[in-house]
Amino acid sequence: MPNMLVVGSVAYDSVDTPSGKNDNQLGGSATYFSVASGYLTDVAVVAVVGRDFDPDDRSMLSDRGIDTSGLVQVEGDTFRWSGSYREDLNSAVTLETQLNVFADFAPELGDAHKALPFLFLANIDPTLQASVLSQMTTRPKMVACDTMNLWIDIARPALVSLVEQVDILLINEAEAMQLTEADGVASAADRLLDMGLRAVVIKRGEYGAVVFHKEFTFAVPAYPLVSVVDPTGAGDSFAGGFLGYLSSVDDTGNDAIRRAAVVGSVMASFAVESYGLDRLKSLNATEIDARFDAFVELTRFHPLGGGQGLPVKSTFNS
């Protein structure tokens, strides 16, 4: 029985990165999210694919314990995206988008999925995201969503309405500023929190992520990898680790959210180490724990405890 639902895309991607090209790799927001979160929790995926969808790709997901009963197959071809990271590993340039079966995607939830406690609305048309949320018979404990510049450009009112209904928005730095017309991330976050969010997670690529929560701010760096092969899916893998952790521990408190952001960063760091899902889908518990421990090492600084301040000279005491 799953306890988390993701609605998003399943795609075949072709990427061009400084490491080279790779064509027709399995991708899509729902795919990265479900593989990343599937290490930690039972997740069900709702998405659409075409007749060309490789049965082995469905098996890869279901063999991992991911509920693919909502992964519907229809006439036509699977969504295809091709992009280049030649100029900047932090942001893809889209070369081509073939929506294919995704053009007419209108997600309908099965009864088994309508009352799950955690819901991730991956980056699709905000009207569809809202439709999914409205199909839930019980308001989930936590609803999170992602979006992109396209929807800010062409569907801003629907997106704003959606943001007002969810708990957590995960969004790229540039898109947070575009959506709020702020000139910095902290003020963008302030404006987003004013829209009613419990928290906004600003994703900053190789610079990591910052959680702006109503009650605290938490920053986590990205893992400093010498070689980033393919950034595709990093944001969705982050979201998968983030929500997968929260749903696994069934805790949406402040400390859990901090730790979840680190787990998200762990998953994103694995995702970018190879093309597509190659690395992300090959992990074991030992590797995941070791990378989490590496984040502890990367960020710890033995804060001074018990009221012992910094050694500021006494002449500056008042």
Interface positions with its own copies (CB under 8 A): 18, 38-41, 64-65, 89, 183-187, 189-190, 204, 206-208, 210, 212, 216-221, 224-228, 245, 248-249, 255, 258-259, 261-263, 283-286, 288-289, 292-293, 296-304, 309-318
Nearest-angstrom CA–CA distance, 204 and 91? 10
User: Least separation, in Å, of the C-beta of 229 and its own copies?
Assistant: 12
| CA contacts within 13 A on the Cβ side of 308 | 5
- The token pair that represents 40 in the structure block: 């930690």
Please, which residue, 138 or 302, has the CB nearer to its own copies? 302
Please, which residue, 134 or 284, has the CB nearer to its own copies? 284
**H or E element: which one contains 193?**
helix 185-194
Nearest-angstrom CA–CA distance, 67 and 243? 16
Is there a contact between 17 and 89 (Cβ–Cβ < 8 Å)? yes
DSSP secondary-structure letter at 76?
Answer: S
Is there a contact between 130 and 154 (Cβ–Cβ < 8 Å)? no
Hunting for tokens 């729902």 — which residue is that? 30
Please, which residue, 78 or 90, has the CB nearer to its own copies? 90
Please, which residue, 74 or 256, has the CB nearer to its own copies? 256
Please, which residue, 150 or 290, has the CB nearer to its own copies? 290
User: Least separation, in Å, of the C-beta of 152 and its own copies?
Assistant: 22
Which amino acid, 22? Answer: N
User: Least separation, in Å, of the C-beta of 193 and its own copies?
Assistant: 12
Instruction: Mention every residue, 6+ apart, whose C-beta is less than 8 A from residue 230.
Output: 15, 17, 19, 22, 85, 272, 274, 275, 276
User: Least separation, in Å, of the C-beta of 119 and its own copies?
Assistant: 20
Please, which residue, 136 or 249, has the CB nearer to its own copies? 249
SS3 229: coil
Q: What is the gyration radius of the CA atoms in the chain, in angstroms?
A: 20
Residue positions counted in the chain: 318
User: Least separation, in Å, of the C-beta of 303 and its own copies?
Assistant: 4
Please, which residue, 111 or 183, has the CB nearer to its own copies? 183
User: Least separation, in Å, of the C-beta of 307 and its own copies?
Assistant: 9
Please, which residue, 137 or 227, has the CB nearer to its own copies? 227
Nearest-angstrom CA–CA distance, 185 and 176? 7
Please, which residue, 138 or 315, has the CB nearer to its own copies? 315
User: Least separation, in Å, of the C-beta of 9 and its own copies?
Assistant: 24
Nearest-angstrom CA–CA distance, 95 and 2? 36
SS3 111: helix
User: Least separation, in Å, of the C-beta of 100 and its own copies?
Assistant: 32
Nearest-angstrom CA–CA distance, 61 and 32? 10
User: Least separation, in Å, of the C-beta of 92 and its own copies?
Assistant: 17
DSSP secondary-structure letter at 274?
Answer: S
Residue 100 CB neighbour total at 10 angstroms: 20
